[in-house]
Copies of this chain bind each other. A is one copy, B any other.
Amino acid sequence: MLGLMQGWPLLCQRVVDHAATFHGGRKVITRSVEGPIVETTYAEIRTRALKVAQRLEKDGIKLGDRVATLAWNTWRHLESWYGIMGIGAIYHTVNPRLFPEQIVWIVNHAEDRMMFVDLTFVPLVEKIADKLTSIERYVILTDGAHMPQTSLRNAIAYEDWIAEVDGDFAWKEFDENTAAGMCYTSGTTGHPKGVLYSHRSNVLHSMIAAMPDAMAASSRDVILPVVPMFHANCWGLALTAPMVGASLVMPGPKMDGASIYELLETYKVTFTAAVPTIWLMLLQDLEKTGQKLPHLDRVVIGGSACPRAMTKTFQDVYGVRVIHAWGMTEMSPLGSLCTLKPEYAQLTGDARLDIEMKQGHAPFGVEMKITDDNDKDLPWDGKTFGRLKVRGPAVAKSYYKGEGNEAFDEEGWFDTGDVATMDEYGYMQITDRSKDVIKSGGEWISSIDLENLAVGHPKVAEAAVIGVTHPKWDERPLLVIVLKKGETATKEDILGFMKGKCAKWWMPDDVAFVDEIPHTATGKILKTRLRTQFKDYVLPMQAAE
């Protein structure tokens, strides 16, 4: 028997409707690409998003069509998401930091029909435009006064474009499983893979994200998403903020420490989110200037592991609570957040930091397990590590056009490619990527644990550990080091420092000093390239016998 409750589909446009109705005057403040600060409200955002929707229809965009955006976090980018989704078309966020060939590949694979482009990226797009054959029109996210001379097909300034309609328009209604957004994830091997979010998954994900043990977002928050809208669905914030009626502060193109500080301070931001690199810049800047963060209550840090010193500094020096989080483009992206359950809530000092170094626990709506290579469940003891697998309503079930689908099993579990421990209270800690874990004599060694150890050495700027073929143990760890500018150190210095801090058989067999470690476009260490570089490396034979 079915219940007799309303069939109210979970559509993303209802989020901006709610914001405009119940939080209509709440501010959305942007550092615009043109330079000045621009203030608007959720009521205006909705009005203009309706114009975007109406104007898209006039250009022939319809349900299921993909519309690319190559843009910073601004109010116009936000409006365009809601306008696109509101007619059942799909926002496709393209990461401008990708190599131009990758952008070409992605846009062609998605068959985007239109592209919204920030002024910053017009020159970039002009260079590849002749290869972007599916794009019928470029909308430049600016007004007539700032519109550049450009060769881009049917280019028009956004403000002029939406001025051509009157806004007398209603959102379309459709199934909540309709695709809403698209984001490609560039693995370290093969082509990028497209994740296709639905309206339902976006709405559920935002509800999950707002919960008290996740981001605890409320209408009294002023949220600064430094994490770009083109990175993993903006960690959900472009939907979560209007859903709860929180004010938004959008950084536009400026993400250096001083610029971010200025926004945090001027607009009394209470909550912000970004990858560690951003916070490194901010903290360095604060140290220089001696400025404080009196309004900021909490910061979500994810995308890669948050260094212990960073958490400590935020909390002890600035009184800002750090929420370590883990997620993936395939998960919309939130998977876990490290907020404190009662079992850990009383901890202080180092014991507390130990917990805060974990990536956290899954909220309702994310199922987790760790398994061995044979899919056998492993114990939640905080020590045993295995492949981390997840399921949930905001987790992908396959990639666009089906490439890479071996990551999904028949029971719906998605193999994240991460290797993790789970502790007795359900706190997950990433120990490695499954491709990077070093398999020595049938046992696993975590490359990340070793890297974290190595960067603790005062002379080390960056460290990477990879597995190198070994006649007896299959693989043994090689530590690759970039020293801080002007420093010198020997292999013995480094290994001596690490000794006793990890299992003896985990100790790297050798240390290689390099000038630079290769990175992906999103700032992660490109281990595939490192492995190619060191593929013929011969380890000293005395080690690990």
Contact = CB atoms under 8 A, between A and B. Distances in A.
Interface hub of A1, A64, A339, A341 (most chain B Cβ within 10 A):
A1
A433 interface: no
A63 interface: yes
Contacts of A216: 212, 216, 218
Nearest to A342: B220
Interface residues of A, number: 73
Nearest to A405: B4
Contacts of A245: 213, 341
Contact of A5 (B197, B244, B425): B197
A392 B8 contact: yes
A5 B201 contact: yes
A125 interface: no
Q: Is the interface of A mostly helix, strand, loop or mixed?
A: loop
A207 interface: yes
A51 interface: no
Nearest to A201: B5
A444 interface: no
A91 B311 CA distance: 47
Interface string A210-246: 1111001111100000000000000000000001110
Interface in A340-394: 340-343, 345, 361-362, 364-365, 367, 391-394
Interface stretch (A396-404, A515-523, A533-541): A396-404
Given A4-B400, A6-B396, A243 B364 contact: yes
Given A179-B1, A391-B6, A208 B207 contact: yes
Nearest to A181: B3
A184 to B, nearest CB: 13
A18 B342 CA distance: 16
A429 to B, nearest CB: 15
A212 B345 contact: no
Contacts of A426: 21-23
A195 interface: yes
A178 interface: yes
Interface string A425-436: 110000000000
Contacts of A21: 367, 426
A20 to B, nearest CB: 10
Contacts of A398: 4
Nearest to A221: B212
Contacts of A340: 220
22 contacts: A2-B175, A3-B177, A3-B199, A4-B195, A4-B196, A4-B398, A5-B196, A15-B364, A18-B367, A22-B426, A26-B342, A204-B207, A207-B364, A210-B211, A211-B218, A212-B217, A212-B218, A216-B216, A218-B339, A219-B339, A220-B340, A220-B345
Sorted nearest first, the 8 A-B pairs with minimum C-beta distance are A3-B198, A1-B64, A212-B218, A5-B201, A8-B393, A22-B426, A4-B196, A3-B179
Given A1-B178, A245-B341, 14 more contacts: A1-B90, A2-B178, A3-B201, A5-B196, A6-B394, A7-B397, A21-B367, A21-B426, A23-B341, A25-B343, A210-B211, A211-B211, A219-B339, A243-B364
